[in-house]
Amino acid sequence: MPEILPDHVPSPRTPLVWDGTRYRAVRGHTDGTVQVRGENQLFSFESPLLRRIITAISGADGYIDSVTPGDGRVWEITNVVAQDRTSPTTRHAYIQVRGAIEAMFYDQVQAFGTFGLSHWHGHVWLEHDDVIRVYFDGALAGDSCLVDVTGYQFHKEI
């Protein structure tokens, strides 16, 4: 185990961090926050996330895409809600889209009345240009549909 060589002897409750050479006491800031960035940290928490899209789908059984994270941002999506606000639907399929890859992560089949909600809870990570796509089976061209994504926004440390 590496030797602990702080500038002064820490108390037993002082958190220590390995900087690649030696252990050092974790640094705090005057605003009460703690510096936690390290050599292995890929991203840091920035803020809670809530993004809503309400738009008309372009065709029968159409879809809408969520907003994408900005450049240098990563989103952890923990909740998605979808709704057709115009017509009843029979299925809502949730897909994570990254480039040419589409991976379904949730599929709810039931008789959704107009304004009927489907919802998913879990963990999906999005980077810049990734989206959550929701298909609305039974929807008609021009239906007003809603997709809400909630979770956490991070910024990349690289």
CA distance 104 to 62: 15
Are 62 and 76 in a shared domain?
yes
* 3-class DSSP assignment, residue 93: strand
Total tally of structural domains belonging to the chain: 2
CA distance 17 to 103: 38
Are 129 and 151 in a shared domain?
yes
Are 58 and 119 in a shared domain?
yes
Tokens 């009345």 found at: 113
Are 32 and 105 in a shared domain?
no
Q: Please report, rounded to a whole number, the percentage of residues in the chain having pLDDT higher than 90.
A: 65
Are 15 and 60 in a shared domain?
no
pLDDT in tens, 33-75: 555 555 456 667 889 999 999 999 989 999 999 999 999 899 9
* Domain coverage including residue 144: 43-156
Are 11 and 52 in a shared domain?
no
Tokens 């996330």 found at: 49
**Residue 154's closest CA among 41, 67, 66?**
41
- Say if pTM beats, i.e. exceeds, 0.95: no
